[in-house]
Amino acid sequence: MLVILELFSPPRMVWTTEGICEALGYSRPTGYRYIRQLTENGLLVRVGPAGYSLGPRIVEWDFLMRHADPMLTAGLPFLRNLAVQTGCDINLVALYGDRIVTTHQEMGTEILPLSFSRGRPFPILRGASSRIIIANFPRGRLKRIYEQNESEALALGYGSNWEEFKSYLAKIKRAGYAVSRGELDAGYAGVAVPIFGPKRVIIGCIVAALTTQRLALTRTDMLVNMLQGAAKEIEVRIPAPQVPPVPRRRDTAYRNVAS
Amino acid sequence: MLVILELFSPPRMVWTTEGICEALGYSRPTGYRYIRQLTENGLLVRVGPAGYSLGPRIVEWDFLMRHADPMLTAGLPFLRNLAVQTGCDINLVALYGDRIVTTHQEMGTEILPLSFSRGRPFPILRGASSRIIIANFPRGRLKRIYEQNESEALALGYGSNWEEFKSYLAKIKRAGYAVSRGELDAGYAGVAVPIFGPKRVIIGCIVAALTTQRLALTRTDMLVNMLQGAAKEIEVRIPAPQVPPVPRRRDTAYRNVAS
DNA sequence: TATTAAATCTCATATATTGACAATAATCGT
DNA sequence: ACGATTATTGTCAATATATGAGATTTAATA
């Protein structure tokens, strides 16, 4: 039933009952039943005389998530300050399981496309955010990523084999920041520094987004310094895990959320 | 299975497998199975060694919704302008089926609580937004709302019977704006004007949020005038419905979303 | 390495889903 | 207001899937 929700993506964000049934092969009664249930749950909403779109419950959940996100709540003042001081768009990016997603956009002086805002997912190898985050992954996890993305890694300059891939990322990890140009949106660049949670586990990053022209005029070392300063401030403010008596860990890649 | 997602609300935004199973009466295998599926779908994400929270897919959907919302995309520049000119927080509020939810917050000079931001739902009778929206509902729909909320309507000053309720809202409708003080958050007030979609169907409103002290110093007539100007600008920019051959309408309360 | 807790698997039984077809509800044009 | 048409919901037998007790596997820790 949740697969209905996957239908809603650009360019088609409104679906009719008929369209949904056709696309997913449901009979009419089944289609109407599913839609009705998702509508009652607030995941869909009726728009216009015949269409449905994603519903208000999603917006409400996102609201709850923003308020419960310790990295975001701790980081807000610093992100604002960075945007004012640098004039760049400053984004907070989080690692959610194996997804890398922007969680906050603080706008600078340039008007960048709205596509950089909260909710934008990043391909695992593209952009400064993805680079700085995976550079801090454990070896085994990196290996898995490499095996699943060999040709993309080659195309993006990570190297043509595992050793080169590993060493390329080790260099980024050592440098403590990553830069990318035009990999996500033509004409735009990013400079990213990592944010670590407890036990130095990577949980996200801060990115300065700017045009490639502006990046060419920027002293990257100073910008990185400021980003890293803010990252440190965020790290010390992230509260310790509030989860009850901690059972065995199954996965070292996690992020804290306040309970 | 979706009921698991309803567990995630303040003050508890992280749940263990054990906690979920206990709270919802699932056996362990069932609980693990559900959690696994929701995690694979991105609706949950693992945080910490034992906990789960709402996942990245929600954030991504919200992103898609923001970009596809014609009222929001048309309204952004006007909301920004209003915030600059008035110094108030200017919120866009949408009617989704029978939910009233903030869809955008444009911050003014006062730092208001983050709780006013996108995703905040409003009780059907509380606040200026709810008042101006339901004031423009058809008679039958109003009657239903009244029957379900008689005591709350009385407590909030709508009147002690259907006739008074109806006439109270008719007055708001005629005035073309609504004011509320302290109904949502102590010390805060709202001034709201309606936004109409095709065929003059109510689809949302613009609200200026400010402290009650500041409201007392404000010329409400001028503020309302500016809000109404922006509402008109938004209305003429909302594109006509893009839904395919329009079948019979089932509900006059709907909102347009671009396809 | 042994122990322990977390997570997954097996499979008989219980329960839910499904869609063809029927019925009802709602809308529109006259 | 009425009849025609479309949208939506209901019925129920056939089929599919979910469920959980108990067993097994996996993963982490001391």
- Over 80: is that where the pLDDT of B122 sits? yes
Q: For nucleotide D9, give the residue with the nearest CA to its C1'.
A: A29
Beta bridge partners of residue B53, listed in sequence order: B45
Residue A253: pLDDT band (50, 70, 90) is very low
Query: Hey, what long-range contacts does B197-201 have (CB within 8 A, 24 or more apart)?
Result: B197/B71, B197/B235, B197/B238, B197/B254, B197/B255, B197/B256, B198/B238, B198/B240, B198/B241, B198/B256, B199/B252, B201/B252, B201/B253, B201/B254
- Over 90: is that where the pLDDT of A180 sits? yes
Residue A238: pLDDT band (50, 70, 90) is confident
Domain B3-60 has CATH 3.40.50.300: no
| CATH number, span A65-237 | 3.30.450.40
> For chain B, what percent of residues have pLDDT higher than 90?
73
Q: Which residues make Cβ contacts (< 8 Å) with residue A215, sequence separation at least 6?
A: A179, A181, A189, A191
Query: Can you give the residue ranges of every domain in chain B?
Result: 3-60, 69-237
Q: For nucleotide D11, give the residue with the nearest CA to its C1'.
A: A29
Please report the pLDDT score of residue A113 as a whole number. 62
| Nearest beta carbon to residue A50 from set B120, B121, B246 | B246
| CATH number, span B69-237 | 3.30.450.40
Q: Which residue has the tokens 């704006």?
A: B177
> For chain B, what percent of residues have pLDDT higher than 70?
90
- Over 50: is that where the pLDDT of A255 sits? no
- Over 80: is that where the pLDDT of A182 sits? yes
| Nearest beta carbon to residue A56 from set B42, B63, B96 | B96
Please report the pLDDT score of residue B116 as a whole number. 75
Please report the pLDDT score of residue A112 as a whole number. 64
Q: Are A117 and B60 inside 8 Å of each other by CB?
A: no
Structure-model confidence comparison of residues B145 and B171, the more confident one: B171
- Over 80: is that where the pLDDT of A250 sits? no
Class of domain A3-56: mainly alpha
Please report the pLDDT score of residue B258 as a whole number. 35
Give the burial class of B199: count Cβ atoms within 10 A of its Cβ; 0-12 exposed, 13-18 middle, 19 or more buried.
exposed
Query: What average pLDDT does chain B have?
Result: 88
Please report the pLDDT score of residue A257 as a whole number. 44
- Over range A185-199, report the average pLDDT: 91
- Over 70: is that where the pLDDT of B8 sits? yes
User: Chains A, B: CB contacts under 8 A, how many?
Assistant: 218
- Over 80: is that where the pLDDT of A72 sits? yes
Query: What average pLDDT does chain A have?
Result: 88
- Over 50: is that where the pLDDT of B57 sits? yes
Q: Are A58 and B61 inside 8 Å of each other by CB?
A: yes
- Over range A77-86, report the average pLDDT: 94
- Over range B165-171, report the average pLDDT: 94
* Strand C footprint nucleotides (protein C-beta < 7 Å): 4-10, 18-22, 26-28
- Over 50: is that where the pLDDT of B253 sits? no
Please report the pLDDT score of residue B186 as a whole number. 87
- Over range A164-181, report the average pLDDT: 95
Enter the ipTM: 0.91
Residue B115: pLDDT band (50, 70, 90) is low
Q: Which residues make Cβ contacts (< 8 Å) with residue B182, sequence separation at least 6?
A: B188, B189, B212
Residue B205: pLDDT band (50, 70, 90) is very high
Least confident segment among A64-68, A108-112, A152-156, A248-252? A248-252
The span from the CA of A126 to the CA of B91, in Å, is: 34
